[in-house]
Amino acid sequence: MGGRSMGVTVERPTPALRGVYRRLAARPAWVICALFVVGATLGRALDVSLPPSIRYLPLAASVVVFGLPHGAIDYLVPARVDDCSPPRSMAAVGGLYAVFGGAYAVLWLITPLAAAAGFIALTWFHWGQGDVHALVAFVEADHLDSTGLRVTTGGVRGGLPMFVPLLAFPERYRTVVDSWVGLFGTDVSAMWLFAGGTRLVGGAVFLTVSVGVLLVGYRRDGGRGWQVDAGETALLWLFFLTVPPVVAIGVYFCVWHSLRHVLRVVAVDGTGTRTGTGPVTPRSVVVSSAREAAPTTALALVFLVGFASLVPVAPASTASGAAVYLVFVAVLTLPHVAVVTWMDYREGIWWG
């Protein structure tokens, strides 16, 4: 992939940490997602479906299992990337969350439909950027050798969790978005977005782009990195086409996206772990990251309770309770994306 690009001040993960990535993030995510695909396919064939309350379990688990905590370690990032003091690092990230998160919370109160659309677009971008980083830094995908190819790959990877469920489960997708804006006394009125014709055209375009970007990558370098990229893209297409959206997003958030970010923050440590001088292992990564995330995760839960008391329509069901959590995650996502985008710049992720 060439030499270091302008602005790059962070080294790539060590071979040991790339091994931890494979054992802790890549392989388990593949197995878990594949099992859910098999389970969902069998359930559909046998006409068996999960009770609504069970569908929310993966999302509920994300409160403590990597989902919410993965952003709770953002306060470490400036200290590790710029080697500034921990107090300065905490103050910078805390201020960012207060300003960006506060502004986005106000937007939800003023114009929830625009805020919801922004959340989908922001998450599309962010989950795509997370996968591009993993491919470039951990997988060493040499086929992603240009900015254009990385940007397009990010668009595909982000669209898999944010757009493909709309193709397969339009009513459930609309119900989830309705539950967000319903907390603020409105509903989704753009029914044309969920119409069959719109989904057919959109799905055809997105599939074409998905295949096209892989073909271009194959022509650049069809080695192991491309094989991982193609395999993950195919798996995620199947996963989000077959697994109901609430279940799929909860599982993906915990075992795919969040774990990769945790390992990214560990990687910029330089030594690979803050737990001591021992070797970097999956266990050391989980233990150290859990300890570092615990205080800010607890603080986030306090803010979540306060946020729930401020929404105009009080949650009265599992679905509306989950909606409060997701809107709160949306508020945290904007400053989190700002932190991650700054990391992208410092690591030169988008420069081929």
Are 246 and 322 in contact by the 8 Å Cβ rule? The answer is yes
The reply, when asked if residue 261 is annotated as ligand binding, is yes
21 vs 272: CA distance, rounded Å: 11
DSSP conformation letters of 256-311: IIIHHHHHHHHHTTSSS-SS-SSPP-HHHHHHHHHHHHHHHHHHHHHHHHHHHHHS
Q: Is 126 one of the annotated binding-site residues?
A: yes
Please check if 336 is assigned to a binding site: no
With 0-12 / 13-18 / 19 or more C-beta atoms within 10 angstroms meaning exposed / middle / buried, residue 218 is middle
Does 70 count as an annotated binding residue? yes
Torsion of Cα atoms, 127 then 256 then 115 then 350, to 10°: -10
Burial of 204 (0-12, 13-18, 19+ CB in 10 A): exposed
Q: How far apart are CA 117 and CA 108, in angstroms?
A: 11
Residues flagged as binding site: 70, 126, 257, 261
Residues flagged as binding site for Fe cation: 70, 126, 257, 261
